[in-house]
């Protein structure tokens, strides 16, 4: 069947295609606030660092999404639950949103925040993120992002519903805020870059997501496999763009098992 997009804004829209999609943001904020009330984090700039009750086995990093324009670490604290139950520390790093920042600046800020968290927590580092955060998590394992000493500790990268090629976003209305041009879209697209060697990459996407997110997840896994990386693309049956991240809340979920396999 021919795949042809004629409405680029709809291709990347999620809320209107998810039953009761408009209620998810409030539920995330409520769950996150309740989680922090019971387990206050350390500050990580404007972000958060959660520690397990005993020594940390490593550091999981979750990078939030929101099309680089919305949300923040404080929306997602509850997603630290699964890793904390496995005795991993969890960092939810901040980055400046558009239009105050371009994506290239977000990459630099995020790398610095992860390096700060890594300086506080010993052991392996597992990187993940959702949607635009999936893009940024993948971008972190390209050679020009993280410091070498930090990158050497990364044992897994699991971009969830990632945006791997930014060039289609040039055709969307949101680009009035993102201000991407052809050069930046190419320079900041993981699918157009090479990953650092030796880091296994699993793209994870819901089977009920918009076709563009499934295409983007497959694209990154396929391109990076062709560059010698160990990759997989997991299509999570029945999951949509807003509930595909729920596995991060459970210590024994397939998503957590893949992310913290070390």
Tell me if 1 is assigned to some domain.
no
β pairing state of 47-50 and 89-92: antiparallel
Domain that holds residue 32: 8-259
Residue 2 lies in a domain: no
In this structure, are strands 154-160 and 201-206 parallel, antiparallel, or unpaired? parallel
φ, ψ dihedrals at 178, nearest 5°: -70, -35
Evaluate whether 117 touches 101 at the Cβ level (below 8 Å): no
pTM of the predicted structure, to 2 decimals: 0.97
Sign of CA dihedral 206, 104, 113, 172: negative
The answer to whether position 145 is within a domain reads yes
User: Which CATH number belongs to the domain containing residue 118 in this structure?
Assistant: 3.40.50.1820
Per-residue tens of pLDDT for the chain, all 262 residues: 899 999 999 999 999 999 999 999 999 999 999 999 999 999 999 999 999 999 999 999 999 999 999 999 999 999 999 999 999 999 999 999 999 999 999 999 999 999 999 999 999 999 999 999 999 999 999 999 999 999 999 999 999 999 999 999 999 999 999 999 999 999 999 999 999 999 999 999 999 999 999 999 999 999 999 999 999 999 999 999 999 999 999 999 999 999 998 5
H helix or E strand, kind and range, residue 135: helix 132-139
Residue 61 in domain:
yes
Number of domains forming the structure of the chain: 1
- The SS3 call for residue 184 is helix
Q: What is the 3-state secondary structure (H, E, C) of 116-130?
A: HHHHHCCCCEEEEEE
Q: Does 126 map to a domain?
A: yes
Residue 253 lies in a domain: yes
In a domain, residue 97? The reply is yes
């Amino acid at each position: 069947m021919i795949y042809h997009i004629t409405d680029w804004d709809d291709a990347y829209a999620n809320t209107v295609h998810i039953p009761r999609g408009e209620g998810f943001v409030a539920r995330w904020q409520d769950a996150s606030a309740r989680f922090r009330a019971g387990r206050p984090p350390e500050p990580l700039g404007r972000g958060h660092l959660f520690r397990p009750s005993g020594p940390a086995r490593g550091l999981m990093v979750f990078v939030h999404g929101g099309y680089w324009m919305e949300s923040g670490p404080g929306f997602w604290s509850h997603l630290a639950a699964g890793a904390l139950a496995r005795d991993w520390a969890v960092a939810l790093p901040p980055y400046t949103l558009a239009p105050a920042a371009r994506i290239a600046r977000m990459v630099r800020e995020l790398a610095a925040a992860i390096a700060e968290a890594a300086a506080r927590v010993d052991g392996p580092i597992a990187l993940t993120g959702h949607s635009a955060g999936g893009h940024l998590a993948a971008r972190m394992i390209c050679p020009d992002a993280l410091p070498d000493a930090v990158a050497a500790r990364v044992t897994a990268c699991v971009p969830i519903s990632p945006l791997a090629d930014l060039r289609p976003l040039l055709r969307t209305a949101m680009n009035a805020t993102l201000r991407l041009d052809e050069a930046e879209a190419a320079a900041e697209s993981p699918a157009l870059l090479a990953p650092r060697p030796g880091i296994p990459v699993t793209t994870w996407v819901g089977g009920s997501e918009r076709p563009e997110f499934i295409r983007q997840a497959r694209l990154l896994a396929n391109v990076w496999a062709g560059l010698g990386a160990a990759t997989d693309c997991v299509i999570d049956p029945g999951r949509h763009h807003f509930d595909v991240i729920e596995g991060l809340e459970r210590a024994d979920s397939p998503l957590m098992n893949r992310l913290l396999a070390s």
